Amino acid sequence: MSISVMLMQLIKGLGVTAEIFFLTLIFSLPLGLLVSFGRMSKNALVRTISKIYISIMRGTPLMLQLIVVYFAPFYVFGLKIPNYRFPAIIIAFALNYAAYFAEIYRSGIESMPAGQYEAAKVLGYTKAQTFMRIILPQVIKRILPPVTNETITLVKDTSLAFVLAQAEMFTMAKQIAAKETSIMPLMAAGLFYYIFNLIVAFAMERLEKALNYYK
Amino acid sequence: MPDSKKILLQIDHIRKAFDGVEVLKDISLSVREGEVVSVIGPSGSGKSTLLRCATMLETMDGGSLSYLGEQAAFEEDGKCVYVPKKKLREIHKNFGLVFQNFNLFPHYSVMKNIIDAPVTVDHVPKKEARERAEKLLLQLGLSDKADAYPCQLSGGQQQRVSIARALALQPKILFFDEPTSALDPELTGEVLKVIKELAKEHMTMIIVTHEMQFAREVSDRIIFMEQGVIQAEGTPDEIFHSSNERVREFIGKFQS
């Protein structure tokens, strides 16, 4: 196999990797906010459920979660869902990352000074307006560094989808490496992951700078 | 102050305890339109708690509270009952509060800090809110700061912006919770000057302060609080020449 054919296949795999990455962010960022509300809820039942959810998601391997989400519908409920492989991967990643993001949101929200809520209350903002207009924008600025961390980890974690034989970049690299008995494809994949993360880090740095107009 | 003026704020027999410690014990107070009332007293006397109960940042344990004759909270079976949220929202519009540490919104420019509540909460057209804000900024000597962010301003400027933010909602009563306690003496002056100007325009104000001389100059009435009760109340002259030994002792400390 020529190098250019190998690279083409890796790049095809990179496309799937990017898809997993972006879809996971799109679903887990809002879901994480929801879970963080549950975690901070006044209702003890909601709070406990959220805590257990976060505990399981952070306490068990993501690889195992991928397997459970993919196989549980059939082995537990006898359900056969067509074309389920890719959705299962997105569901598992989103559920897992939401737990981590939930704790990041919570740390950000709880770090907000009470005075901001009080000022908004006296000015007549509703609770929803206070959160959307006053609290959330400031929370986003505060949590950007830990979110960057998670996002960079996610780029690398997408490789775990190989356990369900999804044709993302790592799976492709492993297959080619086995066929060609060469470590080159894996090294090339490593380089692609690295470049992907350079771009992520650069984008997040830009975002941080853009929010630096206030303290 | 003529009694013919409308009563804007009426507080009756309010009580408040934190973890069993009584901070306010049976406080009653009424404030008429145009009146400037200062609340003085040692730290921990309950002054700030009184203000926070009046502005509904704290829920009272007992007593009643009403603005312009509209009841916000009343006592029933020894407990304090607040009227439904929707009603409270309406009552909230009667007053504004200026905090000790400003509590400006750091992610909003000065202009946005001032117009956001009128536009979002009161649905004032943006253009009108902006004109109103420009007038306030001019009045408070901040015309050149409209596009600045709070972190770029001095403490005194920030406090003046927070006064403008409160005034933009056109409240009938303005509360001040130790408005100069976070400022150095130089910056204190510029904020006190603004409050004095508001007093001249007959803005109804209730000011918790440690600035004795200022309280004396600006107030129609001074309330001296200690240990959760109003120990003395009267015109500045009455308070500054009080026969109450504790009042004399407290004021004396500040004059020496």
ipTM reported for the complex, 2 dp: 0.93
- Round to whole Å and give the CA distance between A75 and A98: 25
Number of folded domains that form chain A:
1
**Cα end-to-end span (Å), chain B:** 31
Say if strands B221-226 and B204-208 run parallel, antiparallel, or are unpaired. Answer: unpaired
Using the predicted structure, report yes or no on whether residue B214 has a pLDDT greater than 90.
yes
A215 against A90, higher pLDDT = A90
**Considering only CB atoms, which chain B residues are within 8 Å of A119?**
99, 103-105
pTM: 0.90
pLDDT tens digits, one per residue of A188-204: 999 999 999 999 999 99
Which site among A112, A121, A122, A133 would you substitute to test the B interface, given the most B Cβ atoms closer than 10 Å to its Cβ? Answer: A122
| Block residue for tokens 């009760």 | B229
Quick: pLDDT tens for B225-244: 999 999 999 999 999 998 88
Between B90 and B252, the higher pLDDT residue: B90
What is the pLDDT at residue A89? 97
Q: How far is CA B4 from CA B1, B32, B33, B137, in A?
A: 9, 9, 10, 33
Residue B3 has a pLDDT of: 66
DSSP state of B84: P
* Set of chain B residues whose Cβ sits within 8 Å of the Cβ of A215: 106, 151
CATH of the domain at A137: 1.10.3720.10
pLDDT at B256: 52
Residues facing B176 on adjacent strands: B98, B207
Pair type for strands B229-234 and B21-32: unpaired
Query: How far apart are alpha carbons B110 and B94 in whole angstroms?
Result: 23
Is the pLDDT score of B95 beyond 70?
Answer: yes
Structure confidence at residue B255 (pLDDT): 65
pLDDT of A128 above 90: yes
What is the mean pLDDT of the segment spanning B165-186? 94
pLDDT of residue B215: 94
User: CA–CA distance from B52 to each of A165, B14, B98, B179 (Å)?
Assistant: 61, 12, 11, 14
User: Quick one: average pLDDT of A176-182?
Assistant: 92
User: What mean pLDDT do residues B150-163 have?
Assistant: 96
Tell me what the mean pLDDT of segment B60-85 comes to: 93
Q: How far apart are CA B205 and CA A118, in angstroms?
A: 19
Q: Do A214 and B116 touch (CB under 8 A)?
A: no
Range of the domain at A84: 3-211
Counting runs of H as helices and runs of E as strands, what totals does chain B give? 9, 11
**What separation in angstroms does the CA of B61 have from each of B15, B17, B77, B252?**
5, 7, 12, 34
**Among the partner residues A116, A121, A133, nearest to B116 by beta-carbon distance:** A133
* Beta-carbon separation of A122 and B97 below 8 A: yes
Give the model's pLDDT for residue A79.
Answer: 87
Extract the runs of DSSP E, i.e. beta strands, from A29-168.
none
Residue B141, C-beta contacts closer than 8 angstroms, at least 6 positions apart: B160, B190
Q: Are B109 and B99 within 8 A, CB to CB? A: no
The pLDDT of residue B1 is above 60: no
In the prediction, which pLDDT does B232 show? 93
pLDDT band at B224 (very low <50, low <70, confident <90, very high): very high
Asked if the C-beta of B231 comes within 8 angstroms of chain A's C-beta atoms, the answer is: no
CA–CA distance, B26 with B63 (Å, rounded to integer): 8
The arithmetic mean of pLDDT across residues B103-112, rounded, is 97
Q: What is the pLDDT of residues B198-210, one digit of tens each?
A: 999 999 999 999 9
Residue A78 pLDDT: 87
pLDDT at B2: 56
With bands split at pLDDT 50, 70 and 90, how would you rate the model's confidence at A2? confident
How far is residue B241's CA from residue B69's CA, in Å, rounded to a whole number?
A: 34
Cα separation of B10 and B28, whole Å? 8
Q: What is the mean pLDDT of residues A19-29?
A: 98
Q: What is the pLDDT of residue B136?
A: 96
| Res B253: pLDDT | 78
What gap in Å lies between CA B188 and CA B179, rounded to an integer?
Answer: 9
Mean pLDDT of chain A: 95
